[in-house]
Amino acid sequence: MTKIGTDISLAVHLLKEGLIIAIPTETVYGLAGNALNEDAVTNIFTIKNRPFFDPLIVHTDQLSKLSPLIGTIPEPLQMLARHFMPGPLTILVEKTEQMSDLVTSGSRKVAIRIPNHPLTLALLSRLDFPLAAPSANPFGYVSPTTAQHVADQLGDKVSYILDGGSCQIGLESTIVDYRENQIVVLRKGGIPIEEIEALVGPVQVYEQSSSRPSAPGMLDQHYAPSTPLTLQPLEEVLQKFKKEKIGYLAFDKLHPDLPNDHQKVLSPSGNLSEAAHHFFRYLREFDKMDLEIIAATLVPDRDLGRAINDKLKRGAIKN
């Protein structure tokens, strides 16, 4: 039986022993281990069934604690860090020799972030090493937003699940890099691009169609539920599948042509933050319903909607 609880001292003890636990963040749950312990880092990849070429984010409660591990943070990224950390922002910075190549998959840059969750901040403040943590889902599946989601899939593989409730934001962090004097958004996430641009001016956004992704998380067919997902209009899906085999992920209103218990509305009031909070959870709930297809609609393409749409497009079957 997996241990789920809120015992920070136990979590500290297990991490110091080099073991792997799940931690809550404001974005999604993470699969955490001592970033300075190569055995622990290797175990994270193994538990998640993640290829070693896909690097991990390093979590801390204070950037100053990372100073032996990273180089100077470029001023534009420092500005973002001052404004959005702790929060759903990850920045890429040069690493030193003391940061393992295993964590960065050989890249000379490391991804760092300060998660904004009281339990995990308390945990990090009691550690003298940072935590490497990818999202706590098997590679390729949607991210977990509750402790139970983690227990469902990885429960027998982690030493403890620190339960911080349901993740407030529900989408992963926004990842930004600074290259050739330009801020580049590599992954759309919990900080809307509009908020970043309000602070630093126009940024480059890494789009899905690029053929050579520099963040492996940008690969197509990531973040998909097990049930095939389509963006075809529900009218067309209804011609191909029986009603009882269809799930419909709507943005703000039910569709008249499908029973209500086969539909999930992301936000009845049309609020994109609420939609983000429900997004991964609803995909998981559909996956438990013995469906043949999940039909989804894109949401308004602004704020957190851009990250939701990005995930919908990536997760949808090509037809």
Q: Taking CB under 6 A as the rule, does residue 109 contact ligand TXA?
A: yes
Residue among 45 and 248 whose Cβ is closer to Mg ion? 45
Residue among 24 and 247 whose Cβ is closer to ligand TXA? 24
115 binds, among Mg ion, ligand TXA, none (CB under 5 to 8 A by kind): ligand TXA
Binding mask 130-169 for ligand TXA (x = CB under 6 A): ---xxx----------------------------------
Q: Taking CB under 6 A as the rule, does residue 25 contact ligand TXA?
A: yes
Q: Taking CB under 5 A as the rule, does residue 116 contact Mg ion?
A: no
Residue among 113 and 149 whose Cβ is closer to ligand TXA? 113
Q: Which residues contact 50 (CB under 8 A, 6 or more apart)?
A: 44, 134, 139
Interface segment toward ligand TXA; rule CB under 6 A; list 9-17, 49-57, 151-159, 303-311: 49-57
Residue among 69 and 111 whose Cβ is closer to ligand TXA? 111
For ligand TXA, the binding residues in 220-239 under the rule CB under 6 A are none
Residue number, nearest CB to ligand TXA: 217
Work out how close the CB of 167 gets to Mg ion at its nearest, in angstroms, rounded to a whole number: 13
Binding mask 263-302 for ligand TXA (x = CB under 6 A): ----------------------------------------
Q: Taking CB under 6 A as the rule, does residue 192 contact ligand TXA?
A: no
Nearest 10 degrees: CA dihedral of 214, 39, 26, 7?
180
Q: Taking CB under 6 A as the rule, does residue 20 contact ligand TXA?
A: no
Which residue from 104, 135, 159, 309 is in contact with Mg ion, where contact means CB under 5 A?
135
Residue among 87 and 305 whose Cβ is closer to ligand TXA? 87
Give the binding site for Mg ion (CB under 5 A).
Answer: 135
